Structure 1
Amino acid sequence: MGSQVELLVTPAKALVDDKVDITVERLAPRQPVTLHARLVEGTARFQSYAHYRADDMGRVIVAKQPSLGGLYTGVEQMGLFWSMQPSPGQKPGLRLRKKDVSTPFLVDVRVHDGHLDVMREENLPWLTTTTVERWYLGDGVKRIPVREGRVRGTLFLPPGDGLFAGIIDMYGSAGGLAEYRAALLASRGFAALALAVFAYDDLPSDLFSIDLDYFEEATEWLLSHRNVQNHGVGIVATSKGGEIALSMAAHMDKVAAVVAIGSYSAVTGAPLPYKDTVFPCAPFLLEKVVETKEGYLDIRNGVDTTKEPGIKACVQVEKAQCPIMLVAGEDDLNVKSVFHANQAIARMRAHGKTNHTLLKYPGAGHLIEPPYTPLCGLLYHTVYRGCMFLGGEPKSHAAAQEDSWHKILDFFRKHVDGRAQSRL
């Protein structure tokens, strides 16, 4: 029977934020099977599995039939992707992160007979298998390394010679350069600059040496590009990047819209110079960090913006002329992101501002990424040299990622894309 079983995944090649249909055919009626997905990225190995029972016609249609067990239950069309976990035996704190966007995630999907726990089994027999390509970089998207003045990063341009809405994409306190979200934004029609903040190329090696002028230079460079609309940039930024994005919105008139994900409402860790001013910081309170017996860190109480000097460090978001979207997980164990989002909104409201949106998600953790990305609830942080809790429950976090991503894209289309604005 094994040679007759068919596994269909369509489309077999797609962007990571596209859904796929998974169907198994030619099983015996009511046959129990395990669907098993695996991928390897560098030295990292991730996998997931779910238990299904064929219908009376010998079929499993993942988008319509419930998983009966495994890493998720219920009807979850993309469950095999968002429920992935590091394979057993790897270092704690592993994060699935695409480092080379010129290649896809290659996901091997297998069908096993019976309901099995496959996580620790390497060589189980299978009935059929296929490989799925999951891309951040769409067909025809151009990838252009950037070394212009002080600006360091990678520009992604959609196919064609049009004037595209410009987006700056930043991450947080881990430093380096992450390209995957910017590549996906370009695949969805934006000119996206993955901007390095520190610890990349000849940029400062730590957060204590960065200044806001650098981000203004990046903004001006992107707006001057011949393929980018020149009226203003959007910014999407996570964690430490979010507080920089809010600071840019408060003090730069060329910022058209900001999305801050899992962000503080204040400058944290180190003062932030800008022109002739130095914005003070909320210091990191090491005595408030909790360490578990395993050595894992809970840092969510490490910054206090309810009393001085934290209050003075709060970003002057009330000065922002552009719309601001704050994305926060209620189970964020890294930053009290719902608290900080509400703190920023209270400041705007106190000045009569209504240019704010809060996307608040129960059960979501710190790293709210593009859809169908596995939850990273525990992260090894290169700067802290330890594992820290990020929080989140896989199913709820997956729902937050799917909902927020489409709202972020719509937000930028509405507020940054001049072509869309002209059609309104």
Structure 2
Amino acid sequence: MLKFAVTHFARNTLAKMHYSSGVSIRLLPSNKCSFEDPVHVTVSGLNPQQRVVLRSKITDEKGLVFKASATYQADNSGQVDLNRDSSLGGSFTGVEPMGLFWALKADVVSCKFALTDVTRTQLVDLECVSDDKVIAKVTNERHCIADGIRRIPVTEGRIRGTLFMPPGKGSFPGILDTNVFRGAPFELRAALLAKRGFAVLALAFQGYQDLPKKADKFHLEYFEEGIDFLRQQPEVKDQKIGLVSISKSGDLALSMATFLPGISATVCVNGCNANTVIPIYYKDICVPPLMFDVKRSKMTPLGLLDIGDCMNDPMSKEGLPSVIPVERASGQFMFIVSEADRNWQSVYYAKLACDRLKAHGKNNYELVKYEKAGHFIEVPYMPFCLANFHAAANHVIFFGGEPKAHSEAQCDAWQRIVNFFQKTLSCNTLL
């Protein structure tokens, strides 16, 4: 019993010595922040010129662990400041204030960070390591949903999704977000937009609750019901409505902006100017799908399937009937595209849409291009996705891009999206 007590005391003493060495990691302005916010990372209490390794780690909803690390050398006062100091090696090099976040990476190549539950705080553990010993540790709590934001599950008539409402009585401009992940609405972007003063409906359209697991056709009337539901909210009544979309939901958003009345602004991220894969119906209108040929796929040096050239050309004789007549839309457009996107030819499609608008005497569009970003431009500091399973291809595919450039694109695009909606929907910013 005495031996156990001594051993237990010794362990506790060593633990206290381990973390009371005077070394500490600070996150400014706080250990807690919104998911899209940067933090200022500093380490103090080191020996002058001491070399240490800083490590970061986050675990997603599926239990997959994403890690990053970098080596730093303290200054003469024993401090490391990521806003000032260069990484000497590791997951990144050079001065990268948020490198420990944008460089987070899983051991497996084909994966996408799973985040569907916005009520769950995302925890990023940071450690300072010297001689293989952890000498300081801190956890960054990254909140997906801000205080006061109301998250309301929606099962109204046929529509399924989640409504995010800013605090207060309104009035708030409305946004319909049609991105889905693993069948569920992608709520993170919707929650963060609600923080900025928008009422956002994250609308599911397949594979969620009692919706069809896999759609063989889309009826715009379903999306119209979602927009009408948003308009009918007392906090949104008489306000403008916007759309935000990515990938396949991009052509759905362009179709809504074209055929449904009263859409004031549309953001299309790495989408297509033609309806793809699944036919769209609205009243007596049918837009046939632009299809693809998997025979045009190729393998990357990493052994990943590249389908970037598989989609048929919208300007071909067969493709033209699938092109969405965006010139009929009355609202504003923002096209955000990645030049390294290998899901499909996003830059080409956006240029075709802009050229079509211009040819009809319209200047209601903005085109934003990112040279080395990949397909999934989402919110700031979402871990980079190089490859993942693609439902239409029924295979793991290569999405393209480089982690650092992609992270910079996500940060820049996010602010552009917020500014675009604030301008076109006349919204007051909430800090």
TM-score by length of 2: 0.91
Match of residue 18, structure 1, among 9, 23, 37? 37
1:85 partnered with 2:105: yes
Partners of 2:283 and 2:177 lie apart in 1 by: 23
Q: Give the number of the structure whose alpha-carbon radius of gyration is greater.
A: 2
1:52 partnered with 2:69: no
Aligned residue type for 2:102: W
Match of residue 128, structure 2, among 111, 116, 133? 111
Instruction: Give, in angstroms, the shift of residue 295 of structure 1.
Output: 6.1
Which residue number corresponds to residue 163 of structure 1?
171
The answer to whether the Cα contact below 8 Å between 2:171 and 2:239 also exists between their aligned partners in 1 is: no
SS in 2 for 1:266: coil
RMSD across aligned positions (CA): 1.8
Partners of 1:157 and 1:394 lie apart in 2 by: 32
Which residue number corresponds to residue 97 of structure 1?
114
SS in 1 for 2:115: coil
Partners of 1:174 and 1:290 lie apart in 2 by: 25
The answer to whether the Cα contact below 8 Å between 2:197 and 2:427 also exists between their aligned partners in 1 is: no
Which residue number corresponds to residue 297 of structure 2?
289
The answer to whether the Cα contact below 8 Å between 1:172 and 1:238 also exists between their aligned partners in 2 is: no
1:67 partnered with 2:67: no
Partners of 1:32 and 1:111 lie apart in 2 by: 10
1:33 partnered with 2:52: yes
Within 5 Å, give how 1:304-383 maps onto structure 2: 304=312, 305-382=314-391
SS in 2 for 1:409: helix
Partners of 2:265 and 2:92 lie apart in 1 by: 36
Match of residue 266, structure 2, among 258, 272, 276? 258
Partners of 2:301 and 2:374 lie apart in 1 by: 22
| Closer, same or farther: CA 85–337 of 1 in aligned 2, 3 Å | same
| Closer, same or farther: CA 412–229 of 1 in aligned 2, 3 Å | farther
The answer to whether the Cα contact below 8 Å between 1:219 and 1:254 also exists between their aligned partners in 2 is: no
Partners of 1:173 and 1:209 lie apart in 2 by: 19
Aligned residue type for 2:402: E
Aligned pair count?
408
Partners of 1:103 and 1:75 lie apart in 2 by: 31
Instruction: Give, in angstroms, the shift of residue 289 of structure 1.
Output: 2.7
Which residue number corresponds to residue 225 of structure 1?
233
Partners of 1:267 and 1:174 lie apart in 2 by: 21
Q: Which moved more, 1:164-173 or 1:327-336?
A: 164-173
Instruction: Give, in angstroms, the shift of residue 177 of structure 1.
Output: 2.1
For residues 245-287 of structure 1, give each alpha carbon's deviation from its aligned partner in whole angstroms, at most 9, with x where no partner exists: 1111111222110000010110010210111111111122232
For residues 50-69 of structure 1, give each alpha carbon's deviation from its aligned partner in whole angstroms, at most 9, with x where no partner exists: 11111111000111111121
The answer to whether the Cα contact below 8 Å between 1:39 and 1:105 also exists between their aligned partners in 2 is: yes
Which residue number corresponds to residue 298 of structure 1?
306
Instruction: Give, in angstroms, the shift of residue 104 of structure 1.
Output: 1.1
Match of residue 414, structure 2, among 373, 392, 405? 405
Partners of 1:85 and 1:293 lie apart in 2 by: 19
Aligned residue type for 2:205: V
Instruction: Give, in angstroms, the shift of residue 175 of structure 1.
Output: 3.6
1:241 partnered with 2:260: no
Partners of 2:146 and 2:183 lie apart in 1 by: 25
The answer to whether the Cα contact below 8 Å between 1:110 and 1:128 also exists between their aligned partners in 2 is: yes
SS in 2 for 1:183: helix
Partners of 1:159 and 1:382 lie apart in 2 by: 37
Partners of 1:229 and 1:64 lie apart in 2 by: 48
Which residue number corresponds to residue 6 of structure 1?
24
For residues 194-227 of structure 1, give each alpha carbon's deviation from its aligned partner in whole angstroms, at most 9, with x where no partner exists: 1102111222222323211111111111011111
Q: Which moved more, 1:311-320 or 1:352-361?
A: 311-320
Which residue number corresponds to residue 11 of structure 2?
none
Instruction: Give, in angstroms, the shift of residue 292 of structure 1.
Output: 5.5
1:183 partnered with 2:202: no
The answer to whether the Cα contact below 8 Å between 1:204 and 1:210 also exists between their aligned partners in 2 is: no
For residues 286-310 of structure 1, give each alpha carbon's deviation from its aligned partner in whole angstroms, at most 9, with x where no partner exists: 3223355876321222212130221
The answer to whether the Cα contact below 8 Å between 2:161 and 2:202 also exists between their aligned partners in 1 is: yes
Instruction: Give, in angstroms, the shift of residue 319 of structure 1.
Output: 1.0
Partners of 1:190 and 1:259 lie apart in 2 by: 14
1:414 partnered with 2:414: no
The answer to whether the Cα contact below 8 Å between 2:421 and 2:427 also exists between their aligned partners in 1 is: no
Within 5 Å, give how 1:134-173 maps onto structure 2: 134-171=142-179
| Closer, same or farther: CA 174–267 of 1 in aligned 2, 3 Å | farther
Runs of 5+ consecutive residues of structure 2 not aligned to the other structure: 1-16
SS in 1 for 2:134: coil
Partners of 2:93 and 2:409 lie apart in 1 by: 18
Partners of 1:241 and 1:253 lie apart in 2 by: 18
SS in 1 for 2:382: coil
Which residue number corresponds to residue 117 of structure 1?
none
Aligned residue type for 1:237: S
1:194 partnered with 2:205: no
| Closer, same or farther: CA 418–14 of 1 in aligned 2, 3 Å | closer
Which residue number corresponds to residue 269 of structure 1?
277
Instruction: Give, in angstroms, the shift of residue 178 of structure 1.
Output: 1.7
Aligned residue type for 1:350: A
